[in-house]
Structure 1
Amino acid sequence: MTDQPTPMMVQYLAIREANPGALLFYRMGDFYEMFFDDAVAAAAALDIALTKRGTHQGEPIPMCGVPVHAAESYLLTLIRKGFRVAIAEQMEDPAEAKKRGSKSVVARDVVRLVTPGTLTEESLLEARRHNFLAAFATVREESALAWVDISTGAFQVMECSLPRLAPELARLAPRELLAVEGADLDDLAADAGAALTDLPPGAFDSGAGARRLSALYGVETLDGFGAFTRAELSAMGAIVDYLDMTQKGKLPLLRPPVRERAGGAMQIDAATRRNLELTQALSGGREGSLLSAIDRTVTAAGARLLERRISAPSRDLALIHARQDAVTALVEDARLAADLRDALSRVPDMDRALSRLALDRGGPRDLSAIRAGLTQGAGIAARLPEDAPQVLLDAARDLTGHDELIDLLDDALVAEPPLLARDGGFVAPGHEADLDETRRLRDEGRGVIAGMQADYIALAGVQSLKIKHNNVLGYFIETTTTHAEKMLAPPLNETFIHRQTTANQIRFTTVPLSELETRILNARDRALEIERGIFERLRGAVLDQAAAIGQAARALAEIDLAAAFADIATGESWSRPRVDDSRAFLVEGGRHPVVERALKRKAEGFVANDCDLTTGETPAIWLLTGPNMAGKSTFLRQNALIAVLAQAGAYVPARRAHIGMVSQLFSRVGAADDLARGRSTFMVEMVETAAILNQADDHALVILDEIGRGTATWDGLSIAWAVMEHLHGANRCRALFATHYHEMTALSARLDGVENATVAVREWEGEVIFLHEVRKGAADRSYGVQVARLAGLPASVVERAREVLTALESGEREGAARPAALIDDLPLFRAAPAAPAPARAKESPVDARIKAIHPDSLTPREALDLIYELKSLTGETA
């Protein structure tokens, strides 16, 4: 005989079956409970106790739970560990279920499916980063990528072939990627750090997608938003369908979709983003990246805009110049820039507040954030001069016209409202008379009763009359029986209604007292009910102005970014680059912003260097030689970062810069393997190099470091040689090519546009000193043995390396056919004898005299005499 599941467990299993692939948070009073496999998985992930509740099919049911009030922190942990969570709430008061019978179960249903790409709570999001949900769709020969951040409402789409998907995912770094079942995008999603969610083909139907979008925006046709391909409609429709499913019909406030123009931004592939550490350091995390080094924004929206600009530098020349003009205006008016940054520092995140309000997850503080943001925005707009650059004037325009909403919110809300509407206390006194009266009854009930008692004493002429309260009668009027005849006789009996007579007292009530009692007892609930109604009215007023508020939020982000770029330009001596459509690439006194920042922390200076790849229509390639640790990789990267900053609209870390439009940026720097896919370091290097050679056009900027180093010397040299020739003859692009193969320096005499450059070093008494200066010319050797010594290799190993190197170099000069034969003639490696302890030096007269000195006991005159004495001991005269 098997045990029958309880009605509650039957309900749980039914809800669980309807939401496969997600942990079920099942609301039971003040806890979300989990059972069966969900409980086992959640207990391990959250490091909480696993208990048991009842049995199922003869086995104990595993169980664990988390408090409702602390659920967000647990959700964050689960989402970061790759889980999806279905939230099942109680849909009725448990008292209502009891009325139906002892075996009735409280009605429950899933109100939301929490996934990595659908987060809106402030505690679950990174304030300074977007949280994108992306969808990739293919319809016949067309493919498209759509993405949305439901916490801000940003919604975009673009045509995107499968080969372009990896670079675009690297740019967006979505938290979740939607794809049709069987699309086999697991590796691409994993590389981008996105959770992959497979959806049935019906979710990607382009016709249904168009209808979903039209219904969402309340339009008959999407023509007003742009001409979308079937693949784009498919991808956008899949996102809307998924949001409808996860949010259980409460769709977020999405802006009209924007179609991103192909070729509108600098093309940067995933490997280049990783190598250049644009938004994330190779070690993981933001610290150490370009984004971290240059982020001077003071608002969350401004920080997110900065990340977008760095991730996708523009190729629109007019737009770049307009953004530069805004930065220049604030560089030249430091006082205005400081005032703007001070005001912006008090601007909350309106985008995310607006999104929470739209999804009915917001509270009074979100209304307050809208009020504060619009108020600060109006003040910022008033500060901007009439002759400001167009970017700033456009922003000022979007920040005005919100006075009516500001006044409404200012009148309705207290200065510091609570987080949740259910807590009450967020409506300002004087906003609504009924609420003020209800609060007075709630907070000053005794005073109101005392006032009524005084009125009744005057009316009855009985000084001993009292208004009292007990749990049986509630509020009542009491006087001694000596006044009974008077109180029961006309005209007082028309006001005072007899309730009870005791041995010494007689008790009455009145209609106003009964009404007041009801109002006092219900005042707390009534006050909360009135405030909830006011909250909904204010929320509705805000959502009616959602589009204008969104525009204001974007305007504040634009001003914040311009002011941030101006701040770093002024503080770090950056200059405005000249950006045009030419093939120029001239940088004078260029610096690496991340490395320079790190050196400043150590009170060390950065050695600036020039770079000139300007050669008109011919290819322009610098072949860079020099030892490791001399700064070749830093030089390569800094010039790539300068191009990124220039086309992002920022000033650049250089004395002067002229950047011809860079269409594509490619970087092959550093060593990494991909063992999970069976790729060695050399294979990864070759795959990335192949991508560059197959894609780079004549407006690309390519930086390559040590191509061919992962294989045998002659193989590596031959590959590097061929790659150089291909860049020059086929790609015809601008490039910086660092190598240890000194034989390649001969190419400068054979290929037009190829110049040799080297990172200077100096030897001093066997030591190698890195000057970090890039000069024209070629290095004569690599100094690898010296670098090995600096790294701490045992002295015997370093000495043996010198012997072998000398033999090889000698054999090469003498034309030896087999270098190995020369090595065979060398004696085998022997451990070097331990170095003798250094002989103890005889103490000099100066040392002996100094040891005998007691500085604190010397007078000024004695100290001066001592200096002359010490000079005489060294043989010097005054």
Structure 2
Amino acid sequence: MAKTKETPMMQQYNQIKQNYPDAFLFYRLGDFYELFNDDAILGSQLLELTLTQRNKNADNPIPMAGVPHHAAQNYIDILVDKGYKVAVVEQMENPAEAEGMVRRDVVQLITPGTRMNTSADEAKENNYLVALYHAPAGSFGLAYSDLSTGELKTSTVANVNTVLNELSRLETKEIVIPAPLPADLQANLTTLGIMVSHQTTTTVNAEISYLRQEITAVEQLTALDTLLSYLFATQKRSLDHLQIAKAYAVSQYLKLDRNSRANLELTVNLRTQKRSGTLLWLLDRTMTAMGGRALKQWLELPLLDRATLEQRYDKIGELNTEFFGRDALQEALKQVYDLERLVGRVAYGTANGRDLLQLRNSLRQIPDIMVTLGNFDPAIFGDLLSKLDPVTDIEKLISQAIAEEPPISVTDGSVIRDSYNSQLDTYRDVMKNGKQWLAEMEAKERTATGISSLKIGFNKVFGYYIEVTKANIDRLDPTRYTRKQTLTNAERFITPELKRREEQILEAEAKSSELEYQLFTQVRDRIKQNIARLQKLAATLAELDVLQSLATVAEEQQFVRPTLVEDHQLAITDGRHPVVEKVLGHQSYVANDVDMAADDTVMLITGPNMSGKSTYMRQLALTVVMAQIGSYVPATAASLPIFDQIFTRIGAADDLISGNSTFMVEMAEANTALQQATANSLILFDELGRGTATYDGMALAQAIIEYVHDNVHAKTLFSTHYHELTALESELEQLKNVHVGATEENGNLVFSHRVLPGPADQSYGINVAKLAGLPNPLIKRAATILAKLEAQDVTLSEQGSSLAEPAAVVPNQTTEAGGQLDLFAIPELDPKTQAILDAIKNLNLATTTPLDTMLKVQTWQSDLQK
């Protein structure tokens, strides 16, 4: 079958599409953006559009789907949210003036990393685009930017794991690379669902030279050039709001790998993947979107610099002392819009009149904020006060130029205020008086002709006209008007006077709209010249907003100022998990101390499941993070060293995509901590070794404790059910035992949630199973089996076994008779009961929700009754 000949329009479409094969092409045709071929088929499915055809009668009709141009942004956002790119194709000339095919071209490529539009739910989130360059020496140059705010940073990253940590911290949706990445990193990016874009050529221009002026490292410059070249290539416009790139080092901040961030739920709830129930959720009482983003950045990059932390503590203390001033500051900040993104839209050329009014209203709050700060202790708030610039000239310009209720579109008129421009006032006067003159003329002509239904109208083809119905034509003097148009039921006429007035009105309307747009762009350009001032102001307001937020939460939740100590002493009195406490209520939460002398290395924590061991460990880590962002902490007193890293191994999770079991993940994360931790680090190990055979796990747990104690010397909290390990306190000088209290009353387990000195006397595992609702016959049988196992364990210990000795973990130990020692010599059970007991044994209550536990119990009960 012969191929259908392409029309000129489809030839143009296909030529453009060849340059953007990985993007949806939104091709402008009149009032619609059209999708063709595969774009139309997939787009109709993703966007729920009607799939039609172009050239329906051809041998090969072309699939087609379209969206109205005024609603296009919503559809573009949906596609970008789903991980696609969208190339927007516009008409580059007026169709009325074009010769032949209207010239079209891509005016912007929108990708997951270059989105400018954000919803209200995303206002406090950054949207980072990251560039990566793999240097010959093995390190990586990294550069990232939030196009909507202008933030631009670079760093040198040592290895793949650190790259992945940074990508996770930045919640990266797209990276751009100049050359292929190592296979293991590429595989991880695929697993994480991060879009990889390519930019093999770099742009050289004055803007890029200006933005890269402070960067010296070659690998960072390569990454930065790649990033900026991609931005200019995709956005196709000036990006004056991009800030001069600043280099940072990962080592400048408290290191938290991606697993630790996830385990501690700093910004994302592990269960819901939402903000609710996280430390960020608790601390965020910010009044502005800028402040919300800044608070999240503080949480993601806790500091190591003591002087800065002390300054932040001072400011929080002052805000809580001067609470009337804090209230005034909050009220002013409530009126401040998102200056960072407003400035971005100004630079981008997309800001409209309403955006400029938001900018003006924000600037009007600055004098009040300056007065408020002036009433605070100048030794504490003088630095921030000196940074506040009210940008009065811009506030006055907008107030003078922009109408109070401008339309959304800047080309529809009514954007510029009356009296701002005399020529515009003249045009408006002509339009206003012209329309009044038309009304007066209509009344005069009705009187002169005696035809009460006579009217003066307008359309775009014939302009202004006098219309008389055919029923009244006989009453009209034939010489009075000049006939213009005949309709079915009426005749339309003009007069020389009406024609002259029409020319004046239409000329005034056209020139008024054109002049208004020119005046608006002049105002916008004036603002653009002050972008650096506005960005500096936005950063200062964001910092103030974060500080008042932390102060507010500290007062409401009864947090205290921590004391930073030079030695390794760790002393927290009545420490709490701030998020759990917020949910339970201050009166219901059981506070606990953490007391580790400077030379204490390991705190070994024992106690039953569900007693609060994991919560106790997490609350310490969250207290450290809070202290090192400059926040007050949940305790009645706290003395802390400044930690350089936090490592956590809490909870169980398979990495099935990589083929790693729970135990493999456990060991890998433990290895990371053991290899990278220093004496200034904090390590949290929860139930390490439980994923393998009992003696294997116990041996590994003891060896890890000994290695940390003897070699790493990091402050380490190690929770375990291996009670045999508590004997290490007598062998390891820097280890001490604590346990979470629980008592058995009338056969029922009662948790105190209180951390007490010394080891726990037992695990209470069967008691916890009883709490979960397992059948009584099963519980009794488990108790019988436990008694036999404990009796055999006593026999084994009487033979001279000691946990600290290698013989205790040799799997092929034999009896005196030369046979294999049978540690589990119990009556053989039927397979069904044995399977249920195995399931109970392997159930990890610490990581199982109550609902999941109930469902499992229901299944076991059903199986036993069969």
State the TM-score, normalized to the length of structure 1: 0.84
Does residue 842 of structure 2 align to residue 824 of structure 1? Answer: no
Q: Which residue of 1 aligns with 2:236?
A: 248
Q: Which residue of 2 aligns with 1:177?
A: 175
The CA deviation at 1:21 is 0.9
The CA deviation at 1:443 is 4.6
The CA deviation at 1:564 is 0.3
Q: Which residue of 1 aligns with 2:11?
A: 10
Q: Which residue of 2 aligns with 1:740?
A: 721
Task: Report 1:486-525 matches (<5 A).
Answer: 509=496, 516-525=501-510
Change beyond 3 A, Cα 1:342–1:191: farther
The one of 299, 319, 326 aligned to 2:288? 299
| Cα RMSD for the two superposed structures | 3.1
Q: Which residue of 2 aligns with 1:529?
A: 514
1:57, 1:705 → 2: CA distance?
A: 68
1:715, 1:50 → 2: CA distance?
A: 61
1:473, 1:812 → 2: CA distance?
A: 104
Q: Which residue of 1 aligns with 2:588?
A: 605
2:46, 2:567 → 1: CA distance?
A: 55
Q: Which residue of 1 aligns with 2:849?
A: none
Cα contact 1:386–1:393 (8 A) shared by 2: no
Task: Report 1:305-704 matches (<5 A).
Answer: 305-385=294-374, 387-388=376-377, 392-443=381-432, 445-448=434-437, 469=456, 474=464, 509=496, 516-600=501-585, 605-615=588-598, 618-704=599-685
1:147, 1:473 → 2: CA distance?
A: 55
Deviations 1:696-755 (A, max 9, x none): 011001111011111001111111111111111111111111111111111111112211
The CA deviation at 1:526 is 3.2
The one of 90, 98, 106 aligned to 1:110? 106
Cα contact 2:40–2:63 (8 A) shared by 1: yes
Cα contact 1:789–1:798 (8 A) shared by 2: yes
Change beyond 3 A, Cα 1:416–1:673: farther
Deviations 1:609-645 (A, max 9, x none): 1102232xx3522110111100111110010001001
The CA deviation at 1:316 is 1.1
The CA deviation at 1:450 is 6.6
Aligned residue for 1:95, secondary structure, equals coil
Cα contact 1:664–1:696 (8 A) shared by 2: yes
Aligned residue for 1:423, secondary structure, equals coil
Change beyond 3 A, Cα 1:830–1:321: closer
The one of 710, 728, 731 aligned to 1:750? 731
Deviations 1:381-407 (A, max 9, x none): 122125535674333333334111111
The CA deviation at 1:500 is 6.4
Amino acid at match of 2:793: E
Q: Which residue of 2 aligns with 1:277?
A: 265
Q: Which residue of 2 aligns with 1:841?
A: none
Amino acid at match of 1:610: D
Change beyond 3 A, Cα 1:48–1:732: same
Aligned residue for 1:737, secondary structure, equals strand
Aligned residue for 2:55, secondary structure, equals strand
2:355, 2:526 → 1: CA distance?
A: 13
Q: Which residue of 2 aligns with 1:480?
A: none
State the TM-score, normalized to the length of structure 2: 0.85
2:666, 2:463 → 1: CA distance?
A: 88
Deviations 1:350-372 (A, max 9, x none): 11011111111221122122212
Does residue 63 of structure 2 align to residue 62 of structure 1? Answer: yes
Amino acid at match of 2:702: W
Cα contact 2:240–2:528 (8 A) shared by 1: no
Deviations 1:140-179 (A, max 9, x none): 2242211111100111111111242122222222221122
1:470, 1:715 → 2: CA distance?
A: 94
Q: Which residue of 2 aligns with 1:161?
A: 158
2:638, 2:173 → 1: CA distance?
A: 37
Please identify, of 717-726 and 75-84, the stretch whose mean Cα deviation from structure 2 is larger. Answer: 75-84
The CA deviation at 1:277 is 0.9
Aligned residue for 1:421, secondary structure, equals coil
2:766, 2:240 → 1: CA distance?
A: 62
2:777, 2:48 → 1: CA distance?
A: 51
2:463, 2:707 → 1: CA distance?
A: 99
Q: Which residue of 2 aligns with 1:122?
A: 118
Q: Which residue of 1 aligns with 2:52?
A: 51
Change beyond 3 A, Cα 1:831–1:23: closer
5+ residue gaps, structure 2: 467-479, 485-492, 798-814, 835-866
Amino acid at match of 1:167: N
Cα contact 1:4–1:56 (8 A) shared by 2: no
The CA deviation at 1:377 is 2.1
5+ residue gaps, structure 1: 457-461, 477-497, 833-878
Does residue 750 of structure 2 align to residue 769 of structure 1? Answer: yes
Cα contact 1:173–1:193 (8 A) shared by 2: no
Cα contact 1:381–1:400 (8 A) shared by 2: no
Cα contact 2:647–2:683 (8 A) shared by 1: yes
Does residue 697 of structure 2 align to residue 716 of structure 1? Answer: yes
The CA deviation at 1:569 is 0.5
1:147, 1:154 → 2: CA distance?
A: 8
Deviations 1:827-867 (A, max 9, x none): 769989xxxxxxxxxxxxxxxxxxxxxxxxxxxxxxxxxxx
1:612, 1:57 → 2: CA distance?
A: 82
Q: Which residue of 2 aligns with 1:237?
A: 225
The one of 245, 250, 254 aligned to 1:266? 254
Cα contact 2:793–2:823 (8 A) shared by 1: no
Please identify, of 56-65 and 345-354, the stretch whose mean Cα deviation from structure 2 is larger. Answer: 56-65
Does residue 208 of structure 2 align to residue 216 of structure 1? Answer: yes
Cα contact 1:217–1:256 (8 A) shared by 2: no
Deviations 1:531-565 (A, max 9, x none): 21121011111111000000111111011011000
The CA deviation at 1:53 is 1.8
Q: Which residue of 2 aligns with 1:856?
A: none
Change beyond 3 A, Cα 1:327–1:88: same
Q: Which residue of 2 aligns with 1:74?
A: 75
Change beyond 3 A, Cα 1:582–1:8: same
Aligned residue for 2:654, secondary structure, equals coil
Aligned residue for 2:796, secondary structure, equals coil
Aligned residue for 1:129, secondary structure, equals coil
The CA deviation at 1:91 is 1.7
1:287, 1:579 → 2: CA distance?
A: 30
Q: Which residue of 2 aligns with 1:842?
A: none
Task: Give the length in aligned residue pairs.
Answer: 783
Cα contact 1:745–1:756 (8 A) shared by 2: yes
The CA deviation at 1:759 is 0.6
Which is higher, the Rg of structure 1 or of structure 2? 1
The CA deviation at 1:530 is 2.4
